[in-house]
């Protein structure tokens, strides 16, 4: 939580201890929310269209049996389908957030698997043998984006945008690290 909080401080160009405390709270709340609340309920908070929810569920339902290269191709196909859908740009936001984070998470782990000096080795052993929680990244980003946007709503549109962005980042990092290490 400290590393995620420090990272969010850097992104927000802040050194405030109160901001750090808020980020700690947000990351912890997001992790708890994802572990205690059905994801379908989290999605309802954002008032997404049925099509947007279907795309997010398509991402979440990519088979865990696929190797990461295949997973990457499937996710890229889903991304293309979202981009080519008839949804409005606003309706595409959460599905694109989810698939983008998922794609980047898979790409990141593919790089870690080929890096003999991966910083993850002391924590997970051989990265090739570790099942990277890319779905947790995607779920955390969506839940964090929803929670951050809702929490930032009192600060006007700028607060919603910054809150949603920081929430998505904090949610993705916090949830995947929690799943990876705990």
Kindly state the tokens that stand for 137: 């990244």
- Reported as a pLDDT band with limits 50, 70 and 90, residue 73 is very high
Per the structure, how many domains does the chain have?
1
Give the residue, 170 or 32, on which the prediction is more confident. Answer: 32
Query: Please, are residues 118 and 112 in contact by the beta-carbon 8 Å criterion?
Result: yes
Judged by DSSP in three states, 35 sits in: helix
- Reported as a pLDDT band with limits 50, 70 and 90, residue 86 is very high
Residue 72 has pLDDT above 90, yes or no: yes
Nearest to 58 by CA among 93, 86, 99, 90: 99
Give percent above pLDDT 70 in the chain: 77
pLDDT in tens, 89-102: 989 988 998 999 89
Query: Please, are residues 125 and 180 in contact by the beta-carbon 8 Å criterion?
Result: no
Residue 158 has pLDDT above 70, yes or no: no
pTM of the entire structure? 0.76
Instruction: Supply the range of the domain harboring residue 122.
Output: 2-181
CA distance 104 to 162: 21
- Reported as a pLDDT band with limits 50, 70 and 90, residue 47 is confident
Question: What's the pLDDT at 169?
Answer: 56
Query: Please, are residues 90 and 161 in contact by the beta-carbon 8 Å criterion?
Result: no
pLDDT in tens, 24-36: 777 777 777 777 8
């Amino acid at each position: 939580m400290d590393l995620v909080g420090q990272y969010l401080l850097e992104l927000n160009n802040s050194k405030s201890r109160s901001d750090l405390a808020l980020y700690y709270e947000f990351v912890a709340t997001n992790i708890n929310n994802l572990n205690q609340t059905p994801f379908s309920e989290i999605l309802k908070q954002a008032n997404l269209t049925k099509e947007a929810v279907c795309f997010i569920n398509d991402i979440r339902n990519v088979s865990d049996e696929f190797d990461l290269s295949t997973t990457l191709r499937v996710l890229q196909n889903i991304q293309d389908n979202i981009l080519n859908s008839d949804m409005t740009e606003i309706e595409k936001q959460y599905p694109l957030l989810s698939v983008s984070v998922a794609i980047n998470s898979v790409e990141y782990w593919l790089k870690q698997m080929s890096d003999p000096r991966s910083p993850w080795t002391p924590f997970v052993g051989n990265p090739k043998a570790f099942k990277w929680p890319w779905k947790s990244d995607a779920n955390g980003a969506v839940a964090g984006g929803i929670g951050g946007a809702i929490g930032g709503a009192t600060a006007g549109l700028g607060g919603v945008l910054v809150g949603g962005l920081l929430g998505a980042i904090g949610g993705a990092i916090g949830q995947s690290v929690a799943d990876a290490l705990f």
